[in-house]
Amino acid sequence: MVFVCEHCHFLFSRSQQPEQCPDCGKYAVRPAEPDEQAEFERCLAMQKDMEDFKVTKDQHNMDLFPDFCEVVINNHMSYFTFLLPVTSFGYRDDMLLELSAEYWKSEDEKQYQANVWAREKGAKTKHFVYPASVPVSEDPETSIVEALNQNDDFISIMSDLICEIAKDR
């Protein structure tokens, strides 16, 4: 039989009606209404589906992972980094930010697509801060930096990042 707690609305199944809710411990258990029973059955079926999908430790083997010796690299990206003092964003601090950008030509080869990452110089983790797109040029690094320098959204995101980093210093 399916029961529900009037207090916490916990749905559960037992052969006999207990006095206390097994979830919250309140004495507010009653038999479930037909719509609550249907909800319980739906949840039970979904839980069963998830258990069937879940890989157990015994089923786990290396066949699930790719052989990295056979991986084919199909996207060639270029990469550059530069240091930027937070004074360039109007903050009076000696903090230096290390920005890095990975970039590649778009499929139509008319744009460079870039992902820009940032961290405080010397930090162990980087944060993704901005996607950029600039026309193809002879000097993609300069084009990307100039586009970022003129982008108000990027400057706003960087200001937020600087404030977050400063909180943790």
**Does the pLDDT at position 121 exceed 60?**
yes
Looking at the 3D structure of the chain, how many domains does it have? 2
88 with 121, same domain: the answer is yes
87 with 160, same domain: the answer is yes
33 with 101, same domain: the answer is no
Over the stretch 69-90, which tens digit does the pLDDT of each residue have?
Answer: 555 555 567 899 999 999 998 9
Q: In the structure, what pLDDT confidence band is assigned to residue 68 with cuts at 50, 70 and 90?
A: low
In a domain, 149, yes or no: yes
Contact yes or no for 97/119 (Cβ under 8 A) = yes
Q: Rounded to an integer, what distance in angstroms lies between the CA atom of residue 126 and that of residue 81? A: 12
3-state secondary structure of 150: coil
Q: What is the 3-state secondary structure (H, E, C) of 52-96?
A: HHCCCCCCCCHHHCCCCCCCCCCCCCEEEEEEEEHHHHCCCCCCE
10 with 55, same domain: the answer is yes
In a domain, 83, yes or no: yes
**Does the pLDDT at position 62 exceed 60?**
no
Supply the pLDDT for residue 75. Answer: 59
98 with 50, same domain: the answer is no
Print the domain residue range for 162: 78-167
Q: pTM score, two decimals? A: 0.55
3-state secondary structure of 161: helix
Tokens representing residue 59 in the block: 């089923």
In a domain, 71, yes or no: no
CA angle 38, 40, 44 (to 5 degrees): 115
84 with 132, same domain: the answer is yes
Percentage of the chain exceeding pLDDT 90? 55
In a domain, 157, yes or no: yes
Supply the pLDDT for residue 108. Answer: 92
3-state secondary structure of 51: helix
Supply the pLDDT for residue 110. Answer: 94
In a domain, 73, yes or no: no
58 with 99, same domain: the answer is no
Which residue, 31, 63, 95, sits at the end of a domain?
63
Q: In the structure, what pLDDT confidence band is assigned to residue 11 with cuts at 50, 70 and 90?
A: confident
